[in-house]
Amino acid sequence: MSDTFTDRRFDVARLAIPDWLLKVEGLGKVYGPFDDAVINSTGPGPETAKSPLNGSIVAAWDVSFEVAPGEALGIVGESGSGKTTVLRCLAGDVTPSTGAATIRLGGNDLNIFAVDAAERRRLRVDTVSVVYQDPSEGLKMNVTAGGNIAEPLTAAGWRNFAKIRMRACDLLSRTEVPLNRMDDLVRAFSGGMRQRVQIAKALANSPSVVLFDEPTTGLDASVAAGVLDLIRSLLEENRIAAVVVSHDFSVIEMLTSRCLVMHHGRIVESALTDQLLEDPHHSYTQRLVAAARS
């Protein structure tokens, strides 16, 4: 058959797929000394993240991906697979051993692993937010809901008390926290409500990137469902580049369109989320999917 299509091939650049906003290249985190031999002694092949050569732990290695604005990328894997390490490196909680993470801001590319500590803190205030599994990591428990949200706002330069309060009201109503709870200490909130306050705080300065680390793990099923629905609608309404880390395929399926699978610190497979669920290729992904479907 003649090749009728080569001269009529569509230029996919015309699809207007948004360019990446977050690009991670060769991210690695090793606890302990390492060289090539140490790295090569770990991973899915040897089935360990801990090197038999010197005991160093290769928590994540050679992790690369891109996320576009308006897109949510999933990272799935069991505990110890390295997915949270990746997220914490991006959040600035953990210093990576190698690699780059570039954020494209108004045409400027900035490697967030290469900036100084002050700049890093500023980025956390207005550009890269995190929603942790444990709300006590993202919130001050002895501060009111309104006070917690005011913190990133004042850090970003907001000074007018009335405006800060209005913004906090707006954020809390978007995350469906009753406004009459605004002046209560977060400590007095239920788990699901704390998570909603944490999400409101994460959105305070309209960040470009939001990182979700097991955002519903540990919540009762019905409460988790409410928080998931909230995250889903926020992702649909905002042009955020999101990374969602979870061991739970139902969370990944609901929130993400593309997904990476991590195992022993490495990416073993990446695909569209429906492909991973219906046609997993890697043996580890097949095991994960089989476990989720049983």
Partner 1 sequence: MRRDPVLEVRQLCKSFVLHAVSGRTVVAFDDVSFSVTAGEHVALAGMSGAGKSSLLKSIYRTYRPSSGEVWLQIHAGDYVDMCALSDIEVATIRGHEIGYVSQFLRSEPRRGALDIVIKSARQRGMNEADARDAAATALQRVGIEERLWDVYTSVLSGGEKQRVNLAAGTVHPPRLLLLDEPLSALDPENRERALVLISSLSHRGVAVVSIFHDLEAIQRLATRVLVLERGHLVAERRPDELDERLTAAAR
Please report, as ranges, the residues that interact with partner 1 according to CB under 8 A: 1, 4-5, 8-12, 15, 17, 68, 71, 225, 229, 232, 250, 253-254, 257-258, 270-272, 274-275, 278-279, 281-283, 286-287, 290
Least distance in angstroms from the C-beta of 208 to partner 1 = 18
Tokens for 126? 């207005």
Q: Which residues of 207-232 are buried (b: 16+ CB within 10 A; e: fewer)?
A: bbbbbbbbbbeebeeebbebbbebbe
Tokens for 144? 């009111």
Least distance in angstroms from the C-beta of 292 to partner 1 = 14
Residue 3: burial class (beta carbons within 10 Å; 0-12, 13-18, 19+) = exposed
Closest CB to partner 1 among residues 39, 228: 228
Closest CB to partner 1 among residues 113, 249: 249
**Helices 221-237 and 191-202: angle between axes, nearest 10 degrees:** 10
Least distance in angstroms from the C-beta of 196 to partner 1 = 16
Closest CB to partner 1 among residues 186, 259: 259
Q: Are 249 and 78 in contact (CB under 8 A)?
A: no
Closest CB to partner 1 among residues 10, 180: 10
Least distance in angstroms from the C-beta of 12 to partner 1 = 5
Least distance in angstroms from the C-beta of 73 to partner 1 = 10
Closest CB to partner 1 among residues 163, 287: 287
Tokens for 249? 């395929």
Closest CB to partner 1 among residues 203, 224: 224
* Amino acid (1-letter code) at residue 219: L
Q: Which residues lie below 8 Å from residue 194, measured CB to CB, with a gap of 6+?
A: 135, 136, 139, 186
Least distance in angstroms from the C-beta of 286 to partner 1 = 5
